[in-house]
Structure 1
Amino acid sequence: MSVVNQNSRNITDLSPKQDDMFTNVINGLTSNPKTIAPKYLYDELGSKLFEKITDLDEYYQTRTEFDILNQSHVSITKLMGKDVDLIELGSGSSTKTHVLLDEANLNSYMPIDISTTILTSTVDQLEKDYPMLKIHGILADYTQAFSLPELGGNKKVVFFPGSTIGNFEPFEEAMFLKQLSNTLDKGDGLLIGLDLRKDKHIIEKAYNDKQGITAAFNKNLLTRINRELHADFQLENFYHHAYYNVEKSRLEMHLVSNVKQTVHLQDHKIDFAENENIHTENSYKYSINSFQKLCMKCGFKPVEVFEDKNKWFSVHYLEVM
């Protein structure tokens, strides 16, 4: 663990040192069907493209969740309590968090992100915007176990917006929630955004925007593999494909080979048939009841749920039992 202090910046580096991207990518591309873990979508450019996605007209999730937070912030901050250490998982630019930073009674704010560039920029800006608040950035992969620094608040509240938990497979989701409840103390809170089941056309439109930013975000994964792992993916030989799998209640994102081809990744050869997919991400959609039952099995007690008028999205406040 290292702590960086530059230009008043306070960041603790808990990033994994042994994440073997090469082995993970090779294992995924030689499996059947081919897959690549979604965390590799988020290099510096991928993180910036995702920020653009959240502003798209088609991408209802971000603005709907933001509206819920704006309309319910009085109730939410009351549930959070006083002198709180607020911890955000996958903070990005912390845009939605400003509602809580402005209204909640906080001791500190700990943004956690896997991107050094995004995190350092966010911490620098927040220190200017909130000079009286302790800002302590954490560079980490929040899907892996790590310990949180003690910053002296009365309790911790974890903020996990964007329905990002939907990227996990069901067994991973349960492991993550159990790991999180074990990291926190009894009475600590979890404020989590959750995308709800709805008409498939609304969901599919959100992941197939007219500007092609989501497609660029998905294909940037291949650019990253070319750059960092010395592969020779030809981006024009792949296209973005996202659709809602009704049976599994999840949006699936793929990169599809539009020709029969062979890709070289160092000394490995990866053969693709025409129309063969690389599965790059899932985004599961939920019912409130099923999610609350899962949380109770993982150490969290449901306290209150906030929804938009269309019941497209929900924000849950839970406490560690």
Structure 2
Amino acid sequence: MTGRFTLTHRLPDGHFATTLRADVLAGLTATPKTLPPKWFYDARGDGLFEAITALPEYYLTRAEHGILARHAADIVRLTGARTLVELGSGASRKTRLLLDAFRAADRGAPERYVPVDVSASALRDAGERLCRAYPGLRVSGTVTDFETDPALPADAPGPRLVAFLGSTLGNLGPPQRAAFHAALRAELAPGDALLLGADLVKPVGELLPAYDDGEGVTAEFNRNVLHVLNRELDADFDPGSFDHRAVWDAEHERVEMRLRSRTAQTVKFPPLDLTVDFAAGEELRTETSAKFRRAGLTAELRRAGFAVRQWWTDREQRFAVALAVPD
């Protein structure tokens, strides 16, 4: 099993510390104040997000899982992939639906699975489990930031299927999405394909509860970014003095998660020689989650050189999985 699993590190030493400092300096001195959503995630944040995916209000994971369960065989047939690459793979749970479809098609698993994630421990755990479950599968984990480094292995057998699932695409703003699509397109060859998950525009009454559940799990997840900053940058946030908010931005068709300061307060970051003032009621934006329409996302992909060949949704038309190819 060990010989079928490899782990490659492509991030420079000190990457996370350097990036966190840069994000804090840029985001908390801006107006309005912002932080990227990637800083929600540490061991506690990972556990909270897993809990969120099981909540009745959080339809996204269930909807996408249902689409993949129904259409995995179609994806295998249409792509004929020999290498499966997954960006932001995490625990690789959804991957099993595709791997099982390869096995059911009497093709066995694809020759190679390339999970790409920033977490070495997640890649190691998932890779070793998959090697045990799928004899003959080679797993080549890659530790990198896929937003700036798609990390598609040139030596992997083609055709290659690149899966970017979940609603992570929505965390990127339009310029970031354009750059991401273009960088990915530059890496793909004829015969390769992109499998993309996207949350769809829907009534606000369905959207907002997914980001503001009745049990308060999402609120704790949102405030976890303050715990991360306290630990990593010796900040002195009082997480309990910030209220969680989920807001629908109709102009940009996106959900925003924010933390609202209950009182006027000052937060210190000694390693950065930085002091940040919050007015009473001032908000820190911690996440934007764009929601898509078929025409808009198809046009975005077309501008980057992709053609959408298939568009699958769940029965309630809440979530979509698109299969696109280099045009």
Residue 95 of structure 1 is matched in structure 2 by 93
The residue aligned with 2:311 is 305
1:277 matched to 2:291? The reply is: no
Specify the code of the residue in structure 2 equivalent to 1:169: G
The 5 A counterparts of 1:178-257 are 178-257=182-261
1:175 aligns with 2:170: no
Deviation at 1:8, TM superposition (A): 6.5
CA contact (8 A) 1:16 1:140 kept: no
CA distance in 1, matches of 2:308, 2:12: 31
Using the TM superposition, give the Cα deviation of residue 117 of structure 1 relative to its aligned residue in structure 2, in angstroms: 2.3
Return the alpha-carbon distance in structure 2 between the equivalents of residues 8 and 81 of structure 1. Answer: 22
Distance in 2, Cα, partners of 1:193 & 1:41:
21
Q: 1:172 to 1:24 in 2, by over 3 A?
A: same
Q: How many residue pairs get matched?
A: 316
Give the TM-score, by structure 2 length: 0.92
Alignment map for 1:15-94 (pairs within 5 Å): 15-17=11-13, 18=15, 19-82=18-81, 84-94=82-92
2:128 corresponds to: 124
Higher helix share: 2
Query: In the TM superposition, what whole-angstrom CA distance separates every residue of 1:205-231 from its partner, at most 9, and x where no partner exists?
Result: 101112222112111111111111111
Q: CA 1:213 to 1:305, structure 2 compared with 1: closer, same or farther past 3 Å? A: same
Q: Distance in 2 between matches of 1:88 and 1:197?
A: 25
Q: Contact (CA 8 Å) 1:44, 1:115: kept in 2 or not?
A: no
Distance 2:73 2:127 in 1: 25
In 2, Cα distance between the equivalents of 1:315 and 1:242?
25
Partner SS state of residue 20, structure 1: helix
SS at match of 2:225: helix
Q: Which amino acid aligns with 2:200?
A: L
Query: Could you list the runs of 5+ residues in structure 1 that have no partner in the other structure?
Result: none
Q: Deviations over 1:156-180 (max 9, x none)?
A: 1110111210000011111100011
* Residue 147 of structure 1, CA deviation: 3.6
Identity of aligned pairs, percent? 38
1:44–1:117 contact (8 Å) kept in structure 2:
no
Q: Measure, in 2, the Cα distance between the counterparts of 1:196 and 1:24.
A: 28
Deviation for aligned residue 1:49:
2.1
Provide the residue aligned with 1:295 in structure 2: 301
Partner amino acid, structure 1, of 2:280: E
Question: Which residue number corresponds to residue 152 of structure 2?
Answer: 148
Q: Once the 2 structures are TM-superposed, how far is the Cα of residue 27 of structure 1 from its aligned partner?
A: 1.7
Q: CA deviation at 1:244?
A: 1.5
Q: Which SS does the other structure have where 2:295 is aligned?
A: helix
- Indicate the SS of the match to 2:160: strand
SS of match in other structure, 2:93: coil
Describe the shift of the 1:273–1:6 C-alpha distance in structure 2 as closer, same or farther (beyond 3 A): farther
Gaps of 5+ in 2: none
Counterparts of 2:233 and 2:129 in 1: how far apart (Å)? 33
Indicate if the aligned counterparts of 2:208 and 2:255 stay in contact, CA closer than 8 A: yes
Distance, in Å, in 2 between the alignment partners of 1:112 and 1:319 is 20
User: Is the Cα–Cα contact under 8 Å of residues 8 and 143 in structure 2 kept in the other structure?
Assistant: yes
Say if 2:150 and 2:183, in contact at 8 Å, map to a contact too. no
In structure 1, C-alpha distance between the alignment counterparts of 2:204 and 2:70, rounded to whole Å: 27
C-alpha RMSD over aligned residues: 1.7
Moved over 4 A (4+): 5-9
Contact kept in structure 1, 2:308 and 2:323, CA below 8 Å: yes
Q: CA deviation at 1:295?
A: 0.3
Q: CA deviation at 1:9?
A: 4.3
Output the TM-score relative to the length of structure 1: 0.94
